[in-house]
Structure 1
């Protein structure tokens, strides 16, 4: 990709006539797409150039979500989306650049009090995300039409585990003993999922610390929730399950602060919400484990979290 950078500059600069590139640097951290920080000579604020590796549809979906929720949820603003580029052929977008770290990056330096302050802000953001309602459960197309319906109850989970972990590639990565234990757990406890299957709503699908950008110098404000490629119409339990994975899973005060803020902002939680969220998070792990390419760290996390779940 290094040899393509000078030509990629032209792809970005064409949308700002009369301007020139002052700096152009790759940005680490993305597992799916390729990102560059771009600084223009005549524009004070930097920009983000993103190359989408999975085609135009995820990019169009992200831009549609930005348009839908930007008035309530902090997100990256899209200035332009192109279906392809003359250098790599990938779809690409020009977006806001947020000059702040993600929450995971600063977590080692956070005191418990400061972390709990973040928890309250996260609860409010989650309530805002989940305030966007849809008619049925399912995946979005590029225009946020819901392709469904999909069952997120006990029967739906068992069918999905069969698809991804029994007949799919995920089972080999997770290991047969753990797959069998997970299926047995879902058969026994899966009925609790129905307690959080109310009105289908917008779910981020990958809501965790690396996807929450913050501004420490501005009272730890949440600057943006990023990477909406896996968003869907589903139960809020899925986002709570994703958020409360390690390292947050052992922090009861953090979970309580998120929940309290979420309810105060208008969100609704069932009585056994943490247990439901833990089980709902299995959908996300099963999805990632069944993909053609999976990072070793994802497999390791899946084994650890699922082993803890079934042991309980």
Structure 2
């Protein structure tokens, strides 16, 4: 079992108006900062809105000490999306000098709209299906961005390149199953999972081209119009982006859906065109196992043992 201390997330720091003014002065010398407001959301980073009196508000995203490299990653991924017809933030400034504040940060444009998760309870099934279809189409445009190799994206591109999706996902399963055991998971369960993955490994061969995957595409990372018929206005948070199979992106997006979320599921799949792939359901099931294993390891890493029993039960059912 690992004795490493839990990973520390969401930096707890106060950014003063004067500090925000100094940051803004580097990109908009004549803008005046009126306030700095911490926004909800963002499991890893601290997200602040810089309120300006004479210019559009901006977003300040601050990365935790142990994950400072994610700043460069987000800049890199948003650069890949610069010419894609989807609404994503534009980077105004990326700073790793720790001169203005003692952590890496990016300053980016603030997109219009509100978080979809805040609107969902008031939406009809028809509206949910429609907005998720729009999201599925936007995800497909993200997935249309191709890369040179499969693998997890780091600060300057794919961190450990793999020539095929099978090679990448096989390495991921092996690495996460090893971590599962190191962090206290059951060795016998890990062996059963290895066998289950091996029996389905052929499904990974259908993805021949490495494609950009958001890999955290949920209602908390999507912005929509605040009133009337919901329309997509923004997609944020590319910290988990991966070069992989679009069905892996879909599997992660569907991960927390329940039976009552059928309108959302059907809309997302229709908008994305997922059902065009042979064996798409079996492939998504395999990627769901990967998601569960990753989440188990993540919860163990950040010191959330209360979340592990339910995740272990899901892993048991996957064998």
TM value normalised by structure 1:
0.83
Given the superposition, is the C-alpha separation of residues 116 and 3 from structure 1 closer, same or farther in structure 2, using an over 3 Å criterion? closer
Please point out which of 12, 15, 21 is paired with 1:10: 21
Point out where structure 2 has 5 or more consecutive residues left out of the alignment: 1-11
2: CA distance between counterparts of 1:176 and 1:278? 22
2: CA distance between counterparts of 1:150 and 1:208? 29
Say if 2:24 is the partner of 1:24. no
Please point out which of 262, 282, 298 is paired with 1:275: 282
Please point out which of 49, 61, 70 is paired with 1:50: 61
* TM-superposition CA deviations, 1:251-278 (whole Å, max 9, x none): 4454333233223xxx783122122112
Q: Name the structure 1 match of 2:294.
A: 287
Q: Name the structure 2 match of 1:233.
A: 243
2: CA distance between counterparts of 1:103 and 1:305? 28
Instruction: Indicate the RMSD between aligned Cα atoms, in angstroms.
Output: 3.0
Please point out which of 262, 274, 280 is paired with 2:272: 262
- Larger mean Cα displacement after TM superposition, 32-41 or 214-223: 214-223
Give the conservation status (yes or no) of the 8 Å contact 2:114–2:224: yes
* TM-superposition CA deviations, 1:73-132 (whole Å, max 9, x none): 221111111113335421111112235332333333322111110121012111101111
Q: Name the structure 2 match of 1:165.
A: 177
Say if 2:133 is the partner of 1:123. no
Give the conservation status (yes or no) of the 8 Å contact 2:140–2:272: yes
Give the conservation status (yes or no) of the 8 Å contact 1:22–1:39: yes
Give, in angstroms, the shift of residue 282 of structure 1: 3.0
- Larger mean Cα displacement after TM superposition, 155-164 or 240-249: 155-164
Count of equivalent residues: 303
Say if 2:94 is the partner of 1:81. yes
Please point out which of 96, 114, 118 is paired with 1:105: 118
Given the superposition, is the C-alpha separation of residues 132 and 301 from structure 1 closer, same or farther in structure 2, using an over 3 Å criterion? farther
Given the superposition, is the C-alpha separation of residues 305 and 219 from structure 1 closer, same or farther in structure 2, using an over 3 Å criterion? farther
1:123-142 map, 5 Å = 123-142=136-155
Given the superposition, is the C-alpha separation of residues 38 and 113 from structure 1 closer, same or farther in structure 2, using an over 3 Å criterion? same
1: CA distance between counterparts of 2:52 and 2:173? 48
Give the conservation status (yes or no) of the 8 Å contact 1:214–1:223: yes
Given the superposition, is the C-alpha separation of residues 98 and 248 from structure 1 closer, same or farther in structure 2, using an over 3 Å criterion? farther
1:145-294 map, 5 Å = 147-149=160-162, 152-153=165-166, 157=169, 159-166=171-178, 168-169=179-180, 172=183, 175=186, 178-195=189-206, 197-217=207-227, 219-248=229-258, 251-263=261-273, 269-291=276-298, 292-293=301-302
Given the superposition, is the C-alpha separation of residues 211 and 20 from structure 1 closer, same or farther in structure 2, using an over 3 Å criterion? same
Given the superposition, is the C-alpha separation of residues 145 and 158 from structure 1 closer, same or farther in structure 2, using an over 3 Å criterion? closer
Give the conservation status (yes or no) of the 8 Å contact 2:73–2:154: yes
TM value normalised by structure 2:
0.81
1: CA distance between counterparts of 2:141 and 2:313? 31
Give the conservation status (yes or no) of the 8 Å contact 1:100–1:216: yes
1: CA distance between counterparts of 2:240 and 2:96? 19
Give, in angstroms, the shift of residue 170 of structure 1: 6.2
Point out where structure 1 has 5 or more consecutive residues left out of the alignment: none
Give the conservation status (yes or no) of the 8 Å contact 1:78–1:96: yes
- Larger mean Cα displacement after TM superposition, 32-41 or 89-98: 89-98
